[in-house]
Amino acid sequence: MEKIIGFCGLICSECPAYLATQKDDDNERRKVAETWSKEFNANMKPEDINYDGC
């Protein structure tokens, strides 16, 4: 995969939200939502994790 750096500063090919979306993997979306909810003190749900790049 080409190395694309998003507006957020993350490398898309390494971003867990991007990877979960590309694989259409609801279990991975759940994991990302749980992790980011704790990391960023936010209330994120698996359905919030959908990212196709900038």
Residue ranges covered by each domain of the chain: 1-54
pLDDT at 43: 97
Extract long-range pairs of 9-18: CB within 8 Å, 24+ residues apart: 12/53, 15/51, 17/49, 17/50, 17/51, 18/51, 18/52, 18/53
Over the stretch 8-50, which tens digit does the pLDDT of each residue have?
Answer: 898 988 999 999 999 999 999 999 999 999 999 999 999 999 9
Task: Decide: 6 and 15 in contact? Cβ < 8 Å.
Answer: yes
pTM (2 decimals)? Answer: 0.84
Which runs of consecutive H residues, i.e. helices, occur in 1-54?
Answer: 16-23, 26-39
